Structure 1
Amino acid sequence: MDNNSYKIPSNKKPFSPVMKKLIFLVVFAIILIIPLLFVGKLVERRGRLFKETVTEIGNEWGKSQKIIAPVISLSYTDSSLSKDDSIRNEKNVVVQPVQRRLAILPEELNATIEMKDELRHRGIYNATVYTANIKLTGYFSPKDFPDKNDMVAYLSIGLSDTKALVKVNKFKLGNVEKDLEAMSGTMANPLFTSGISGQIGPEYDGMMKEDKIPFEIDIDIRGSRKISILPLGKKNNFDIKSNWKSPSFSGVLPTERNIDDNGFTAKWEISNLIRDYPQVLDINQDVYDDFKDSYSEADLEVYRDSEEYEYYNSDDSKIVKVLLYNSVTDYTQIYRACNYGFLFILMSLVIVYIFEIVSKKVAHYVQYIVVGFSLVMFYLLLLSLSEHLGFEMSYLVASLAIVIPNSLYVASMTDNKKFGIGMFIFLSGIYAILFSILRMEQYALLTGTLLILVVLYVVMYLTKKADIFFKLEEENNQ
């Protein structure tokens, strides 16, 4: 009896090396999502720290400024009887005098605002702030004033951050040559609380006999991020100009605007018909959202979560608002780049694999791991450099630091300079396209989709002869 053991031949084919390599590439690309996520979280943390730093600088220099000016706030004793009071008085009911407080709005309001942005530094972070000169002219109508002799009146200016008031250059009312003496507080509380005012003394009594009560106000203020002004007049004409090159307008949009390399100019012509409050307000009873300050917790929240959230989601639709901000920051661009990371890394690994097949040089798995992690390092290097060199220069340096070594590595791996040049052209192309996508906002999705199609067509061209894969597999099996 033959004790020799015989192996039963198996019908199973050996697992294809080509299939093994393809499965490895897909799994490895998926694993690389983990370090990409870590880089994305790091970008978010650094971006949040940047916004908090910008908020602190803005709070120290001057917050977002909201201008409510000018208003004549007055108080007097009203001893007249209403219809109901008259009926009650017939029944010998004593009617007590009432202290009335009114706010008179201007008949015409003209505002000229000239802004100049400045850069402030803290550590590695920069924040853009501004100084503004505000000139307000126009007139009040004496017909809006009550016929009372015991009135105490003030000319009031609402300013959301009075800490940033630099100087009061002119504060005139009527035809009196002497300026009003500015004092803190608006005297229109609770209609609006923060600002300055000037008491209107007996020397201004004669202005009630005139057809118009003119005013002229000139102040210098500091601020950050945005500026807004309330159209208080029956007729409003606003002119705002600045050297800021990327403004955003909201609320009441300008009738004319021009944006160029020197900055922007914008003009508004606004009627009182857009507002929902009358020409004479009862300070004690009337409450309107347009007069409320909205820059405390909301401003901090916008910097933490979304730079435009409070700006675009506020209810100040009847206010002229100009936002001075960078719509796309370095951190938002890097975060968007990380979102394309998996796609670009997978495409790069596939191209390396195609070069391996065409060159008939078997690459080790370790070589793919080295290439994959170097591609992930691009995003971390871009983040690190952008905090010191600026985004454009950082992107150039980071891309060259990845493109050149990987091209040389592929050339050495395949023993063919042509494949190294091909890798250089491919990586340079996708990083150039990625840079274009990051600079685009409206066409980013379209450009990204076209990029995928182009790469797909290139892969289809390079793999049109499928017998290359089988030949390589036969050679490996032999």
Structure 2
Amino acid sequence: MEQKRGKIGNWLRNSITARMLVVGFLLIVLLIPLEFVKSLISERSYRQAEVIQDINGKWGNEVLLSGPILKIPYKTFKEVRIYDEKTKTYSTVNEEAVRDAYFFPETLDIVSDIDSKPLSRGIYESVVFTADINVNGKFPKPDFSKSDIKGEHILWEKATVIINTSNLKGIRNTPVVKLNSQSLSMSPKYSTDYLNTIESGYIEGLKNTANMLSFSFDLKINGSESLKFLPIGKETTARMKSNWHSPSFDGRFLPEDGSREISKDGFKAGWKVLQINRQFEQSFFGNLPELSAFGFGTKFIIPVDEYQKSERTAKYGFMVIGLTLLVFLLIQLVSKIYIHPFQYVMIGLALVMFYTLLISISEHSSFLKAYGIAAAAVLTLITVYSRAILKVFKFPLLICASLASLYGFIYVIIQLENYALLVGSIGLFIILAIIMFASRKIDWGNS
């Protein structure tokens, strides 16, 4: 029995095939702690999203503004047959209901001045803003001629102006809509829709108005994530100015060419949207449709997402561990120095520790600094440990140079976007060529 164990031990120590099988098995085992690290990164990322959502919820969420809209009620009549149990006959009555007509502006001009700032809680940070918005334009005279509504059924005396917004709680002033010579105070209406409504009091003398109705109002609102507008004007223009240096122009329409200016001190942008550019009319009868998909504006983003970069780095963990263990295996085969499986495990765990160091340090510093510190720590540890294993200087230096090159190569890939696949493919091809060249003189006959 002891002789049989001795044969197995000698086979594991001397057979190339046995060593490769052991290293391959250990590589698979090391994927378990690597998956735990990936789960940790995802958990911290989710935690960040929850904290940012909570910060934004207290300050004010994203802002989508639609308005002003002219709202005029009208009566509708529907014939309803009623059965009389006593006379056993049917009678017809006209059932009256009140519905609303909505008229959009002829011209709509929006000017917004946005003061943005980062807001922190612990190690997490969100960007919030306070926007001073000035809106002005003109309404055309309401036209019911394209509908079958009779003039006497239009309730002109109950006409109002409404403004819809996704962030009612963020409003910091009481808007007053100036309509020609009238000043209309706004108050909220109960709504279960995504866009909440604030509505004015009744408009006086609307029925006898022959000309266009000029309007204007100012709105001060807190928000986060994004500020968008709906292009409900027959001609909608919008100008936006902010001190935030990392805008992402979002929505159905982009700013006009030449209107965008982005610098470290902020940005400026302008939009112009015509009725022909979007697929809805200037008036609706009965119900106001959902038009949120036509919004345009700006997202206020924090450009560096450390968790996303850490997650992308961890995806290369299998390659880093596999190539490093392969280098040790080749050194073992060339130098005839025996490396115990336990020592392979220690080296693999040190490589896994790189990712825990990266995520923990990056939460308190920049990604570049965290990457450099984590890489330097792991390189030092593995170099010193391999010096104790291999007993000479040249092999630890080779391992240090190889691992440093590999970490540098991965960092370059992480920073690239459009060329990440191309550079990664070329890099892997070069690595494969180096390994093939380095292993060409190994005697594989002792397998």
Q: State the TM-score bracket (shorter-chain normalisation).
A: 0.7 to 0.9
Counterparts of 1:39-438 in structure 2, within 5 Å, are: 39-75=37-73, 99-144=98-143, 150-168=156-174, 171-176=177-182, 179-185=183-189, 194-202=196-204, 208-209=209-210, 211-242=211-242, 243-256=244-257, 257-282=260-285, 285-290=286-291, 316=293, 318-326=294-302, 329-438=305-414
Tell me how far 1:108 sits from its aligned partner: 0.5
Tell me how far 1:27 sits from its aligned partner: 1.3
CA 1:248/1:234 → structure 2, altered by over 3 Å: closer, same or farther? closer
Report how many aligned residue pairs link the two structures: 418
CA 1:14/1:124 → structure 2, altered by over 3 Å: closer, same or farther? closer
Query: Alpha-carbon deviations, 1:3-29, whole Å to 9, x = none?
Result: xxxxxxx9xx96743332222111111
CA 1:280/1:360 → structure 2, altered by over 3 Å: closer, same or farther? same
Q: Tell me the secondary structure at the aligned position of residue 219 of structure 1.
A: strand
Tell me how far 1:346 sits from its aligned partner: 0.6
Q: Which residue of 1 aligns with 2:419?
A: 443
Q: Is the 8 A contact 1:356 1:363 kept in 2?
A: yes
CA 1:190/1:371 → structure 2, altered by over 3 Å: closer, same or farther? closer
Q: Tell me the secondary structure at the aligned position of residue 441 of structure 2.
A: coil
Tell me how far 1:273 sits from its aligned partner: 2.4
Counterparts of 1:465-476 in structure 2, within 5 Å, are: 465-467=441-443
Equivalent AA in structure 1 for residue 157 of structure 2: M
Q: Tell me the secondary structure at the aligned position of residue 166 of structure 1.
A: coil
Q: Is the 8 A contact 2:334 2:442 kept in 1?
A: no
- Hey, what's the Cα distance between the residues in 1 that align with 2:255 and 2:273? 9
Q: Tell me the secondary structure at the aligned position of residue 173 of structure 2.
A: strand
Q: Is the 8 A contact 1:75 1:151 kept in 2?
A: no
Q: Is the 8 A contact 2:64 2:295 kept in 1?
A: no
CA 1:217/1:207 → structure 2, altered by over 3 Å: closer, same or farther? farther
Q: Which residue of 2 aligns with 1:31?
A: 29
Tell me how far 1:394 sits from its aligned partner: 1.7
Equivalent AA in structure 2 for residue 134 of structure 1: I
- Hey, what's the Cα distance between the residues in 2 that align with 1:221 and 1:23? 65
Q: Is the 8 A contact 2:173 2:219 kept in 1?
A: yes
Tell me how far 1:248 sits from its aligned partner: 4.2
Tell me how far 1:143 sits from its aligned partner: 4.9
CA 1:136/1:464 → structure 2, altered by over 3 Å: closer, same or farther? same
- Hey, what's the Cα distance between the residues in 2 that align with 1:409 and 1:94? 95
Counterparts of 1:455-474 in structure 2, within 5 Å, are: 455-467=431-443
Equivalent AA in structure 2 for residue 156 of structure 1: I
- Hey, what's the Cα distance between the residues in 2 that align with 1:435 and 1:192? 42
Q: Is the 8 A contact 1:76 1:152 kept in 2?
A: no
Query: Alpha-carbon deviations, 1:262-289, whole Å to 9, x = none?
Result: 444332221112444332222xx23412
- Hey, what's the Cα distance between the residues in 1 that align with 2:207 and 2:140? 14
Equivalent AA in structure 2 for residue 223 of structure 1: G
CA 1:238/1:454 → structure 2, altered by over 3 Å: closer, same or farther? same
Equivalent AA in structure 2 for residue 240 of structure 1: M
Tell me how far 1:144 sits from its aligned partner: 3.5
Query: Alpha-carbon deviations, 1:166-187, whole Å to 9, x = none?
Result: 12476322145xx43232238x
CA 1:150/1:108 → structure 2, altered by over 3 Å: closer, same or farther? closer
Q: Which residue of 2 aligns with 1:312?
A: none
- Hey, what's the Cα distance between the residues in 2 that align with 1:406 and 1:191? 59
- Hey, what's the Cα distance between the residues in 1 that align with 2:173 and 2:389? 70
More off after superposition, 417-426 vs 166-175: 166-175
Q: Is the 8 A contact 2:247 2:298 kept in 1?
A: no
CA 1:112/1:440 → structure 2, altered by over 3 Å: closer, same or farther? same
Q: Is the 8 A contact 1:174 1:207 kept in 2?
A: no
Q: Tell me the secondary structure at the aligned position of residue 32 of structure 1.
A: helix
Equivalent AA in structure 2 for residue 183 of structure 1: S
Using the size of structure 1 for normalisation, the TM-score is 0.78
CA 1:29/1:96 → structure 2, altered by over 3 Å: closer, same or farther? closer
- Hey, what's the Cα distance between the residues in 2 that align with 1:248 and 1:437? 26
CA 1:171/1:150 → structure 2, altered by over 3 Å: closer, same or farther? closer
How many percent of aligned residue pairs carry the same amino acid? 26
Using the size of structure 2 for normalisation, the TM-score is 0.83
CA 1:246/1:423 → structure 2, altered by over 3 Å: closer, same or farther? farther
Tell me how far 1:114 sits from its aligned partner: 2.9
- Hey, what's the Cα distance between the residues in 1 that align with 2:203 and 2:156? 12
- Hey, what's the Cα distance between the residues in 2 that align with 1:235 and 1:361? 79
Q: Is the 8 A contact 1:228 1:319 kept in 2?
A: yes
- Which ranges in structure 2 are unaligned for 5 or more consecutive residues? 1-6, 80-90, 146-150
- Hey, what's the Cα distance between the residues in 1 that align with 2:320 and 2:249? 33
Equivalent AA in structure 2 for residue 273 of structure 1: I
Query: Alpha-carbon deviations, 1:378-400, whole Å to 9, x = none?
Result: 11121222222242222221111
CA 1:191/1:151 → structure 2, altered by over 3 Å: closer, same or farther? farther
- Hey, what's the Cα distance between the residues in 1 that align with 2:62 and 2:101? 28
Equivalent AA in structure 2 for residue 173 of structure 1: L
